[in-house]
Amino acid sequence: MIIYDYIALGLKNLKINLIRTFLAMSIISIGVFLILIFNAMNNTMIQIREVKTDAEIDLRQITINGYKLNKLPQGEIEVVFEGIDIQDMKEIKQLNEVKGVYPKYRIIDILTIDSFNPQYGFDKLVIGGLEIYSIDLWGLNNELDFFDIGKIEREKIKNPDFEAIVVGREFDRNTNEFEIIVPHLFLYKLSEYNDKPIFELVDEYVSLYINGIEVPVKIVGTYSHKMNPNNSWINETSLENLSIEDLYYCFDFDKILLFLPVFINETLAREIILRSNSQTSEYKYTPQEVIITLEDISQVEEVSEYIESNYNYYVKSKILEAKIAINSLFFYRKVLGLIGVFILIIALVSTTNTMFMVLRERVRYIGILKSLGFKKQEVLAILSVESMLIGFFGGIIGVFIAYVCKFLISLVLRNILAQTEMYQYVIFGLNSRFVVYAIIGSTIIAFISGIVPAIIGSKLQPLDALQK
C-alpha cells in the first residue's frame, strides 16, 4: 500500500465514529489554539523591544515632565510634581546611552490678539517698525541641547542636508548679550516689509519690549519650522505645502501675530522673568519638560529604569506606554499557555482512549485484513495514520480558531494603542513557522497517543480476531 491508500483508508475509518472522532479533535484544537495565542502574545512583547526603524526616532526618546515617584511607608508609590532639577539633566546627559537632552522652557502662554497686554511681561518685538506679537517665547539652556536631537535626525533621514539653523548660528553659550532666533520663513515677511535681503536681517539688533520697557536684542539666526517645540500641524507640513500665511496673522499693516515661537537665549530668558509681574517673578527658570534621545531603541527600558531608580523621575515613552497597555491586556497570557499544555496532555489521554475504543470495535475488521494478507506493519500503519489524522485535523481547526481570535484581539489592540500612537509598530500576529510546528506537534501527539493501541492491534492473530 502507498501513503495515499493509508490516508484514504484512515479518512474512511474516521467517518465510522464521527462523533467520537470530533470530540478527540476538539480537545486537540483547543489546546493548539491556546498555545498559538500564548505564542502570539509573547511575540508581541518581543516585537516591541526589537522595533528597528531609524525613520521613527521618537521611539528611542523618553520624556521627563517634572513628576517624581515617592515611596510611601505602606510600600505604595505616589506620583507628585516637584519640577525638574537641571543638575540631574546634566548628569543624565553624561550617560553613554544618551545622545541628546533637550529641555523645553516655555516662557509665556498664548497671547490674545485683542489685547496687546500679554500676561507675562512680553509685550512685542519691534523690527524696523513692524510690531510682532509671538504666540510664545521659548528659552534654552546653555549647558544642554538647543534643539530636539530626535527631530534633527528624523529630518536628516529625509534630507541629509537638513540643518536646524537655516541662516546664521546657534546661541553663544558664553555671552551676556540678549540673543534671539526667529522662524526662517518669517524673515520673508520682514524682508518684504524692510526691503532688505534675508541674510542682512541676521545679526541686526531689534527692540524687544518687556512690560513696556525697550530691550535691545540681537537676531543671531533663523530656525527651520520643523524645530517648532510645540506639537502642531506645522511641524509635519513640508516646506512646499507651507505658506507664509500659515505662520502669522496680520491684524494691521504693521502688526502681526506670529504662530511660531521665538527662541531666546538663557540670559534673555532670565531677564524677562526678572522684569515680569509678580505672578511670574516667583517662577524659576526650570524646564517644563525634557526630551532625552537615546542611541538605540533597545536602551529605552534600561535607561528609564535607571532614571527612575536614581533620580525618582516618572519617565514616559511610547514604548513604555505601549508595554503597559499590552501587559494589561495580556496579563493572563502565561495562564493561557499553561492551560493549553494541560489540555494537550488531556488530548493525549483522550486520543489514546479513543483509539483503544476503536481497536475494541474493529477486532474482526483487523482479523479480516490479516486474513487477506495484510502484514503486521501494514495494520500498524493503518491504525497509526488514523490517530495521526485526528491530530492533524484537530491542529487545523485550532489554527483556524486562533486566526479568528487573532483578528478580534488585533481590533482591541488597535483601540487601546491608538492613544499611544504605537499600534503601527506593535504587530500582534501568529508566527507562520510556529503554526506549522503546532500542526506537526498535534499530529505527533496523536501518533504517540495511538501507537500503543496500534501495536496491540497489529499483534492480533487472524483466527483469534475473527472469533471475537
DSSP labels, 16-79: HTHHHHHHHHHHHHHHHHHHHHHHHHHHHHHHHHT---TT-GGGGEEEEEEEEEEE-TTS-EEE
**Residue 343 sits in which domain range?**
3-52+327-467
Among the listed residues 388, 370, 379, the one whose alpha carbon sits nearest the alpha carbon of residue 442: 388
In a domain, 25, yes or no: yes
| Cα separation, 454 vs 389, whole angstroms | 14
Give the count of domains, the chain.
2
**Structure-block grid coordinates of residue 372:** 487477506
Residues 242 and 107 in one domain: yes
Residues 122 and 42 in one domain: no
Residues 28 and 117 in one domain: no
| Rounded (10°) angle between helices 376-417 and 3-16 | 70
Among the listed residues 417, 311, 243, 265, the one whose alpha carbon sits nearest the alpha carbon of residue 87: 311
In a domain, 63, yes or no: no
Strand pairing report for 248-252 and 255-258: antiparallel
Can you spell out the DSSP letters for 175-205? --S-EEEEETTHHHHHHHHHT--HHHHTT-E
Residue recorded with cell 495514520: 385
Strand pairing report for 77-81 and 262-264: unpaired
Residues 105 and 211 in one domain: yes
| Cα separation, 376 vs 335, whole angstroms | 44
Neighbouring C-alpha atoms within 13 Å toward the C-beta of 264: 28
pLDDT by residue, tens only, the chain of 468 residues: 567 666 776 677 667 777 777 888 888 888 888 888 888 877 775 455 554 444 467 778 889 988 887 777 776 777 788 888 899 999 999 999 999 999 988 876 433 434 444 444 456 777 767 777 776 788 889 999 998 888 888 888 878 888 899 888 999 999 899 999 988 877 766 776 667 776 777 888 888 877 677 889 999 998 988 888 876 655 566 655 666 566 666 656 667 777 778 899 999 888 877 776 544 445 578 888 999 998 887 788 889 989 988 998 988 887 777 777 777 767 777 777 788 788 878 877 877 777 777 767 666 776 777 677 777 787 778 778 888 888 898 889 989 998 998 888 888 777 776 665 566 667 677 888 889 998 998 888 888 888 887 777 777 666 655 555
Taking residue 102's Cβ as centre, other Cβ atoms within 10 Å add up to: 24
Residues 404 and 269 in one domain: no
Residues 227 and 350 in one domain: no
